[in-house]
Each structure stands twice: as structure tokens, then as C-alpha cells.
A and B are shown apart, each in its own frame.
Chain A
Amino acid sequence: MAANPHGHGHNYVVDITLEGEPDPVTGMVLDLKKLKDVVNREVITSYDHRFLNYEVPPFDRVVPTPENIAIDIWKRLQPQLAKDGGRLHAVRIYETPDLFVDYFGEAA
């Protein structure tokens, strides 16, 4: 069914988890407003309401499974978050409430 020619949709939910020590002054690991801005800019604006296969590289080349989506989101976020000293721990993608995928980066 997942290979039907005209595709199908999901209401994806994504959990982004960071790790690190709280900053001694602010008490925060990373300002969540910054996280929100980065996720909106790097992921949501590219992905939301798009046909992934046609409109969102790299899914013209790789199959848009939740596994590959989690990896792509990691690649989009990691360098941007690093600029503010953020360290990504996990990307979790819910394709449905009953199926989700966790990616912890290449090292894990």
C-alpha cells in the first residue's frame, strides 16, 4: 500500500531532544525559542504540506521512509544548533501514533 503510485499522507509529529549541561547563567541547555526558530526554518518550512518525493530533496533520490526522514532532519538541524552550542541527542518521528522512529546520529 505504501508504494501506491499517487502517494499518501501522514500527519507527522517530530520530537527533537537536545543534551547538555545547563548554562550557569541562564539555567538552560539551549534557549527553546532558538530551537523553535531553527526547527521552523530548517524543517517545517521545507516539509510542511509538501509532496516529499517531488518537492523536498533529498527525497527525489532516497525513499521517504520515516527512517530517512529522521536522518535528514538530523542533518538539517545539527549544524544550525551547533552554532548556538546546542547538541542534538535524538530525532523522533511519529509517522502515526503507533509507529515511530528514533535516530541518534551517526555515532550511535
Chain B
Amino acid sequence: MIRVTRKYRFSSSHRLHANRLSDAENASLYGKCNNPYGHGHDYEIEISARGPLEPRSGRAVDPAALDRLVEEQVLRTFDHTYLNSESAIFQELVPTTENLARAVYTRLQASWNSVFPGPWPVLDKVRIAETPRNIFEVSENDG
């Protein structure tokens, strides 16, 4: 089994604010991340796919196919957007990078077969660095 990882970048803005909490609770919980006009991140995202080596091509994953999927399902959706108001999913969910990583994983998984129709490769992991110090991962069995 081989794992192939490709790195991509996109920029989005967000504001951390939980609808079910009061303004005071939000301010205390999220601090400056709760500032009313949001703030931006240059997200660095790693997508890992896993599968057996295909002997004829010498590859486990076609990086060009992965690029197409990520472009369609992630970059086009999130790049240069304000997550809170431009993504349906973040009308309910707080656009923390935990939730963003899970959203990316779900979107990729939902369209995976359109690009990788066979049993392999499978989506293995999504890892998003919000800053070089804050990094969030969702793997196959994390749901």
C-alpha cells in the first residue's frame, strides 16, 4: 500500500461565532477570532490518497486526477470566499478549521468515484494548516 499526498493552497476568511451562544460568551470563547468583520487565512491543505501500486504505470494515484477533483470540489468552492456567508454548510456550523477539514473530506469523498471509479485509490486523509502552527486532520475512520 502506498500513500500519495498532494499539497494545495487557498485563502478564505471566517469569523468564529456560535449561534447558540450569547455575544458575551462568543467573545470570551473565541477571543479575537470572534471580531465582527472576520479575518483571513492562507490555508495549506494536504490531501492523501492510498492504494496498491499499479505495476504497469508504476503509480498508486494519478496526481492529475486528484488535482481535478480538488480544484472542482475544494478550491473552486472555498478559495477567496467568506466562509460564514458563502458556504451553505457554515450557515449552521462554525467555520473552525476542524469543521472545514471535515467539510473538505466529505466533499472529496462524495465525488471521489467520479474521478477514481475503481476500488483504489481511496481517500486517506485531509490535513489543513490554518497557520504554520495550527494544523487539523481528518482521516478515513474519523467520519
Contacts and interface: CB of A to CB of B under 8 A. Distances in A.
Interface in A9-43: none
B33 interface: no
B76 interface: no
Given A98-B7, A99-B63, A68 B1 contact: no
Nearest to A106: B1
Contacts of A77: none
B7 A65 contact: no
A98 B4 CA distance: 11
B53 A68 contact: yes
Judged by DSSP, the binding face of B is: strand
Nearest to A104: B1
Contacts of B8: 98
Interface residues of A, number: 18
B60 interface: yes
A101 B59 CA distance: 10
Interface string B1-24: 111111110000000000000000
30 contacts: A62-B55, A63-B58, A63-B59, A64-B58, A65-B58, A65-B59, A66-B4, A67-B2, A67-B4, A67-B53, A67-B59, A68-B53, A68-B58, A71-B53, A98-B6, A98-B7, A98-B8, A99-B4, A99-B5, A99-B7, A99-B63, A100-B4, A101-B2, A101-B3, A101-B4, A102-B3, A103-B2, A103-B3, A104-B1, A108-B1
